[in-house]
Structure 1
Amino acid sequence: MAEPAEYPPFQLGKPRFEQTSFYGRFRHFLDIVDPRTLFVTESRLKEAVQLLEDYKHGTLPPGVTNKELWGAQKIKQAIIHPDTNEKIFMPFRMSGYIPFGTPIVVGLLLPNQTLASTVFWQWLNQSHNACVNYANRNATKPSPTSKFIQGYLGAVISAVSIAVGLNVLVQSANKFTPATRLLIQRFVPFPAVASANICNVVLMRHTELKEGIDVLDSNGNIVGSSRIAAKHALIETALTRVVLPMPILVLPPMIMSIMEKTSLLRSRPRMVLPVQGLVCLAAFGLALPLAISLFPQMSEIETSRLEPEIAMATTSKTVVYNKGLSHECT
């Protein structure tokens, strides 16, 4: 019997979905953040790894389908780090980002935050981000731990400073009514988190602006190291990290401000927090794959827009570069 068209011929290490279209990237990242892989048993993981090894060495058992091979690769990529071959701690896997990150988002959006609670939730959020970033880092080249610490401290200081500063400004604004003040405070986490994300990108990858990043021709050959391509990569990554927290931290306050006026929640105040949790979970689940699908992992740029020495080193009209990890959350 013919296999469904959604399971193309298997390619080891390649994405199942086409990466040149937004829809293809969206489906690819839906696979990556699929929380069902968190419940894969140790025996199922071993089966998946063994199946991929059999494929690699040409010793596949008869009757193995493309669907089974794609499923095995999805399981392995969700759990095993590609460079270290070690299991990634469950809360720091990409598939664990939404379920483990949602309680933090709920905490960030709690009304009537005190100074201490604002600092705590912003710190916890950036700490979670830092752990996810480190757990999913590119480990092919040794990177000093000091760089991660620098990025983490910069993100924490930026997020806490802006969140606390904006809260103080709102509290001291006499022209706002208490209801308006509460509504505005609910939107404070977004600028704080967005600025922290940009700060993290700049601190973690500023050396790329000096040294450049590799650009490759259509055959995958390295043409040279481009600072212009590095600038484009950083801008794309920063844009992704500004867009990502927008629906997560802006939509829930808007939805909750409407829902809290309904008779259902007015008569049942204990339901406010669970409902907010569900709203945050839905916003998170939609926003994460949408935001990280904005730009392809391997971005294309015209050779004529790069440094003259790179343009002269190839006959290709366009080259590609790896924009780097951009799927950090809020």
Structure 2
Amino acid sequence: MCRYLWEAQKIKQATIHPDTGEKIPMPFRMSDSVPFGTPVVVGLLLPNQTFASTIFWQWQSQSNNACVNYCNRNATQMWYISIPTPMSKFFQGYLGAVSSAVTIAVGLNLLIKRAEHFSPAIRILVQRFIPLPAVASANVCNVLLMCHTELSEGISVLDDKGNVVGTSNIAARHALMETSLTRVVLPMPVLLLPSLIMATLERLPLLQKHPRLGLPVHSMVCVCAFGLALPVAISLFPQNSQIHVSELEPEIAAATECKILTYNKGL
């Protein structure tokens, strides 16, 4: 019985937003990131991309990230005062992230294509690593722009009984820093490992004789890398993080006797 209750609790945590109690759409749950996000990862890592395909896959990547950030954001302050997060913040984060990702990816591609001293093989290899700085920087931009309201208005901090002590801008900065670091770490193995592994596998006689196997093998490698990277990145910081009351605003420290307060950093 305890096992079923534990499993039911885990399913609830994976599907229900902890602040609003609303059901998170399946494509934007962190638990469903691997099946829904792998096609985008495969597209980002395709070799010999044109400018059009680079823009398309960076747009797809940051469109998905914007929705994930919005659906998994900290909503304690908005829920507590019954004011919904304005959709304008969503579009600001979306446009900012897409613009930064496309600009960096296209700019790096231009530099590589103008580097005449690179051999074709080295050029293809370098192009495979271009998505990493583009996606990592855009992910941070996405988080900061999507959660700008948290920085300006703060997030709720709770005592050990789950009661709201107050709203803290300092806790909001901690939450965004932790989330941003998670978004930087997440694409590293996802975008690095497949490129390194495929560069080795493509030299094997099997893939050289049957080049059509390249895409299925590439997809499987991306699935494995994504499945490995996601739990590692998410586990860097707990969703319900703790902070010592001495690090928060004086008015919050004066409002409670608890030494450690909790806040939802989002995912």
Q: What TM-score range do you get, normalising by the shorter chain?
A: 0.7 to 0.9
Find 2:109's aligned residue among 144, 153, 167.
167
Is 1:118 the counterpart of 2:54 in the alignment?
A: yes
The amino acid across from 2:234 in the alignment is I
Is 1:254 the counterpart of 2:233 in the alignment?
A: no
Q: How does 1:1-330 map to 2 (within 5 A)?
A: 65-75=1-11, 83=20, 89-136=25-72, 138=75, 140=79, 141=82, 142-324=84-266, 326=267
Distance 1:227 1:93 in 2: 26
Query: Do the aligned residues in 1 keep the contact of 2:51 with 2:106 (CA within 8 Å)?
Result: yes
- What's the offset of the Cα at 1:272? 1.0
Identity of aligned residues (%): 66
The amino acid across from 2:59 in the alignment is W
The amino acid across from 1:122 in the alignment is Q
Distance 1:134 1:205 in 2: 8
**Computing the radius of gyration over CA atoms, which structure comes out larger, 1 or 2?**
1
Alpha-carbon distance change, 309 to 163 in structure 1, aligned in 2, over 3 angstroms: same
Distance 2:263 2:121 in 1: 49
Superposed CA offset, 1:228-279 (max 9, x none)? 2211111101000000111101111011111111222122211111111000
Q: Which residue of 2 aligns with 1:10?
A: none
- What's the offset of the Cα at 1:133? 4.0
Gaps of 5+ in 2: none
Alpha-carbon distance change, 266 to 192 in structure 1, aligned in 2, over 3 angstroms: same
Alpha-carbon distance change, 307 to 94 in structure 1, aligned in 2, over 3 angstroms: closer
**TM-score, normalised with respect to structure 1:** 0.72
Superposed CA offset, 1:90-113 (max 9, x none)? 434444321121111111000011
Alpha-carbon distance change, 303 to 74 in structure 1, aligned in 2, over 3 angstroms: closer
What's the RMSD between the two structures over aligned residues?
2.3
The amino acid across from 2:121 in the alignment is A
Distance 2:41 2:133 in 1: 14
The amino acid across from 2:151 in the alignment is L
The amino acid across from 1:202 in the alignment is L
Alpha-carbon distance change, 279 to 232 in structure 1, aligned in 2, over 3 angstroms: same
The amino acid across from 1:258 in the alignment is T
Distance 2:234 2:180 in 1: 11
Gaps of 5+ in 1: 1-64
Distance 1:68 1:279 in 2: 33
- What's the offset of the Cα at 1:311? 2.6
Q: Which residue of 2 aligns with 1:4?
A: none
Deviates more, 1:215-224 or 1:70-79: 70-79
Distance 2:15 2:164 in 1: 30
Q: Which has the higher contact order (CA 8 A, sep 6+)?
A: 2
**TM-score, normalised with respect to structure 2:** 0.88
Alpha-carbon distance change, 322 to 277 in structure 1, aligned in 2, over 3 angstroms: same
Query: Do the aligned residues in 1 keep the contact of 2:70 with 2:146 (CA within 8 Å)?
Result: no
Superposed CA offset, 1:173-205 (max 9, x none)? 223222111111101111111111111111112
